[in-house]
Amino acid sequence: MLKLYDSERNTAKVNKTLYSEGIKHLLKVEPCFEKIISKEEIDFFRRPEGFAGILYLVIEQQVSVQAANTIKNKVKTLMHDVSADRFLELSIKHLRGAGLSGPKISYLQGIAKEEKNGNLNYGEIVDMTDEEARSYLCKFKGIGKWTADCYLMASLDRPDIWPENDIGLQEGVRRLKDLKTRPTVEDMTSIARKWRPFRSVAANIIWADYD
């Protein structure tokens, strides 16, 4: 029996029905998933909605999980209340001391200001299609496709998101499919096509096995 639990326990609950349906679909169309879903627990990728979710995802860009967690904990300690307003009150010195790079500080300050001036409205994203939401988020400097996709998956619980440019996911797919080399972005798109409409479920299962 697969047991699901939420790695960010203060965020939205994992949709267990969705993931159960997804697993059934994936096993039907891709039997090799059977070899990696035998774990009793899978730590699903969850992040809060709004600025907090974007903050954590920007911190996680292009760094190890361990490094990201260390920086996130230090930044959260500085902020107490994680919000755009509170982030803008922090000095660059304190943010650098927490481990944030100069470019990421600049990106996050810009994103926080965009929310504060009304140009970035997280509430509006909820009613957008995946493609509309992705395009909307990517308008803001510091938010690329990976960050937008992960926000849709981990913060909004969208069921069919596939961050094909994620290195860990690429390596996980290589192992799942017994490939000799890591698949390209184009390969990742092609391989996962038949996993629709549950590619978010596939990504979480593959990440859990890879970790």
CA distance 107 to 114: 11
Name the least confident of 135-139, 143-147, 204-208. Answer: 204-208
CA distance 6 to 43: 6
Q: What is the pLDDT of residues 12-57, one digit of tens each?
A: 445 677 888 999 999 999 999 999 986 556 778 899 999 999 999 9
Torsion of CA 184, 185, 188, 193, to 10 degrees: -140
Among residues 162, 144, 151, 107, the alpha carbon closest in space to that of 128 is found at 151
pLDDT of residue 15: 66
Mean pLDDT confidence for 155-177: 96
Q: What angle do CA 195, 197, 198 make, to 5 degrees?
A: 65
Which residues contact residue 41 at a Cβ distance below 8 angstroms, ignoring those fewer than 6 apart? 3, 4, 5
- Both tokens assigned to 200: 């978010």
> What ranges do the domains of the chain cover?
3-46+160-210, 51-154
pLDDT of residue 10: 36
Residue 3 pairs in a beta bridge with 41
Taking residue 138's Cβ as centre, other Cβ atoms within 10 Å add up to 15
User: H-type helices in the chain, by residue range?
Assistant: 16-29, 51-60, 65-79, 84-89, 92-97, 102-116, 122-125, 130-137, 145-154, 167-176, 185-191, 199-210
Q: pTM of the full predicted structure?
A: 0.90
Question: Is residue 156's pLDDT more than 80?
Answer: yes
Amino acid at position 9, single letter: R
Backbone angles phi, psi at 44, to 5 degrees: -75, 145
Taking residue 185's Cβ as centre, other Cβ atoms within 10 Å add up to 12
Superfamily, domain 51-154: Hypothetical protein; domain 2 (1.10.340.30)
Say if strands 3-6 and 41-44 run parallel, antiparallel, or are unpaired.
parallel
Q: What percent of the chain has pLDDT over 70?
A: 91
Instruction: Enter the CATH code of domain 3-46+160-210.
Output: 1.10.1670.40
Q: What angle do CA 117, 149, 129 make, to 5 degrees?
A: 75
